[in-house]
Structure 1
């Protein structure tokens, strides 16, 4: 007997979100793989795609065993997506020193590592699965809500940084910060409602934060196309450097004196 059901609309939403995040992530990486900001954005998209892959498997699963595999695959995605997004925003908002600080990395990622280990080895995060109209859904363990709040807190911290940066920026920087801010707000708002608030009220509804990744990917794609968001920064810097060199070239005269041309 097959371990997977036929495709359903909810599984399709997860699949579309996964494909869209991968496409946008790879596209941004192709615009400047040596640029740290672009690489971090790619890792964020990859984490979301991994999360989406696991969610897709859970929604087409035909047994609790295959649903569990989907949950295990999704684990690294949701455990690290918040931390990676915060690092991306730190670089984007020009907090480069903080983004490279080992203490920041430890504070951001250690809880995610702990939650991932618990997910893979205990029932403290997920203690089982139940069938629903959208496929299999998780039965929450005692640490499920804290693990979700960990991700939400990191994303909210990133949102606050984006908001402050947008307030003091202008031009394309301000516009680009606005696009990322809107995308993040949509995802965290939907996640708070469908993944945390409604389940706590014992209201069952299909989880939708991964579907909002499709909207986020479209917003980012628009920003790239219209605003040059996440362009090859090296190319921009190169033009500035050459321009400055052309304005002040130093040469030595016959007597060894420095002259400006």
Structure 2
């Protein structure tokens, strides 16, 4: 296992190498790349070690949260992986004795850890991409399936801001599913309200902020997923597999019209207030 110091030095060296290559290749004059890009993978123990977890047990609740490497061939073979990440635990609404009425239980989540370097914190610029892409696998008790949220933290002026969007899933058979948050209406899906990065809701300290400002997409610090059972009053055993988090644009999904046969199953999900487009593989 790599030590925190070695990871820090490796990240710093990578930033230096990338900056040097841009200068040598004179890439500063090139237009920004719109190519799809993977931000985070969850296919090795080193990947898993870069994930932070938390749950209500940290402040007196009784839920549990784990993030581990899953090497089960039956789970991973369909997407050609030897291993993927799995977020699992028990969602419980109760709290420890003496804390009843003082706090609300029922949450668990994970995100990438902060990535400091000699040149400042490593962040992601998503200004030239319209989609946040997540390859996920839904498991656990069915009661937990509709309580997942995607969370984005930026390097904005208010460090406690969290941009949040609910996740909905089509598959209930434990298979992998590609989730896209779409930026604008287009020919790929004629029946759904497509969701841009800009439609993520700004929250602070667990509450929706009255002032909804534009997300600072130039510097994304962390991306994660949370299960908020306390909001919907649901508990039980939860499990969420995750393979990748990435960014893409409309053209990366394809330019399909009504009635045209698709190479993959494109499903418009209309549930509650935020439809999303799910691509099942």
**Computing the radius of gyration over CA atoms, which structure comes out larger, 1 or 2?**
1
Higher strand share: 2
Higher helix share: 1
Q: Which has the higher contact order (CA 8 A, sep 6+)?
A: 2
